[in-house]
Each structure stands twice: as C-alpha cells, then as structure tokens.
Amino acid sequence: MLYNIDSLQQSRRAFCIHLAILITELNP
C-alpha cells in the first residue's frame, strides 16, 4: 500500500502544529 508524500507531509505538519499548541498551553 503506497502513501502519498504530500498527505504524509501535511499530516506531519498538522502533528507538529498540534504539539506546538499543546506546549504553548502547558507553559505559562
């Protein structure tokens, strides 16, 4: 099963953004 590189990059980008939001919410 082949995955699309564009969709993979978008998912990684969304994951990084989600982590950034969590970090900013945890830090005062």
Per-residue model confidence (pLDDT) at position 2 = 66
Per-residue model confidence (pLDDT) at position 25 = 93
Per-residue model confidence (pLDDT) at position 17 = 95
Average pLDDT over every residue of 16-27: 93
Per-residue model confidence (pLDDT) at position 13 = 93
Confidence band of 9 (pLDDT split at 50, 70, 90):
confident
Q: Give the pTM.
A: 0.59
Q: What's the alpha-carbon Rg for the chain, to the nearest Å?
A: 13
Per-residue model confidence (pLDDT) at position 1 = 53
Q: Tell me, what amino acid is at 19?
A: L
Look-up of token digits 């699309």: 4
Q: Tell me, what amino acid is at 3?
A: Y
Alpha-carbon 14 to chain mean position: 3
Give kind and range of the element (H or E) at residue 12: helix 5-26
